[in-house]
């Protein structure tokens, strides 16, 4: 079964991403672009899908890296994610799609008595929540079907990053504007 792919996206999507969509892997936005910092710009060139082995939940990264490759394959968790191919390397869909809570000013306002830095917030001086890119979809499958909201060929710039707790997990929200 072939999933719907927007017309512009269909010209720049890899076979790996098409196969992942058709295998039903586009229902959750996962993956992390850990190096996204305020001020970074990314020209969106295409869509890809990557997979990588991660340590089991009860093992540290260092312990996992020390294992022989065969052992990593046995115990590791294979995690895959959709990402944009950009002029600055891969940029995961989860970074661009953000979190639904981040589109209100309160999300980007530190608790009373805290500075932005103490609250894990970094943003440009002229940060304007009204200008932050809002995706039309929350899943890679729907985002790709919506032609990635016309981002292919455009440049987006990170204007805000917030570190916070999402349940029991450390998370980062990244706010982008289209340049």
SS (HEC) of the chain = CCCCCCHHHHCCECHHHHHHHHCCCCCCCCCCCCCCCCCCEEEEEEEEEEEEEECCCCCCHHHHHHCCHHHHHHHCEEEEEEEEEECCEEEEHHHHHCCHHHHCHHHHCCCCCCCCCCCCEEECCCCCHHHCCCCCCCCHHHHHHCHHHHCCCCEEEEEEEEEEEECCEEEEEEEEEEC
**How many domains are contained in the chain?**
1
Tell which wins on pLDDT, 152 or 167. Answer: 152
pTM of the shown model: 0.87
Q: Identify the pLDDT of residue 29.
A: 77
Average pLDDT over residues 116-142: 95
Using 50, 70 and 90 to split pLDDT, how confident is the model at 28? confident
In the chain, % of residues over pLDDT 70: 98
CA gap 20, 23 in Å, rounded = 5
Residue 146 lies in a domain: yes
Residue 174 lies in a domain: yes
Residue 77 lies in a domain: yes
Q: Has residue 21 got a pLDDT over 90?
A: yes
**Per-chain mean pLDDT for the chain:** 92
CA gap 14, 11 in Å, rounded = 9
Residue 2 lies in a domain: no
CA gap 8, 14 in Å, rounded = 13
Residue 99 lies in a domain: yes
Residue 45 lies in a domain: yes
Residue 137 lies in a domain: yes
Q: Print the domain residue range for 172.
A: 7-178
Tell which wins on pLDDT, 3 or 142. Answer: 142
| Closest by Cα among 163, 9, 161, 166 to 96 | 161
């Amino acid at each position: 079964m072939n999933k719907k792919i927007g017309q512009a996206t269909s010209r720049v999507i890899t076979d790996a991403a098409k196969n992942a969509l058709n295998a039903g892997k586009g229902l959750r936005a996962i993956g992390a672009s850990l190096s996204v910092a305020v001020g970074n710009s990314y020209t969106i060139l295409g869509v890809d899908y990557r997979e990588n082995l991660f340590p089991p939940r009860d093992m540290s990264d260092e312990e996992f890296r020390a294992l022989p490759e065969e052992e990593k394959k046995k115990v590791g968790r294979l995690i895959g994610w959709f990402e944009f191919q950009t002029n600055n390397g891969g940029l995961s869909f989860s970074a661009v799609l953000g979190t639904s809570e981040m589109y209100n000013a309160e999300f980007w306002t530190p608790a009373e008595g805290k500075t932005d830095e103490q609250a894990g917030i970094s943003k440009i001086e002229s940060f304007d929540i009204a200008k932050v890119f809002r995706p039309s979809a929350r899943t890679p499958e729907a985002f790709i079907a919506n032609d990635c909201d016309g981002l292919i060929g455009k440049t987006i710039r990170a204007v805000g990053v917030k570190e916070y707790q999402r349940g029991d997990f450390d998370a980062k929200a990244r706010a982008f504007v289209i340049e």
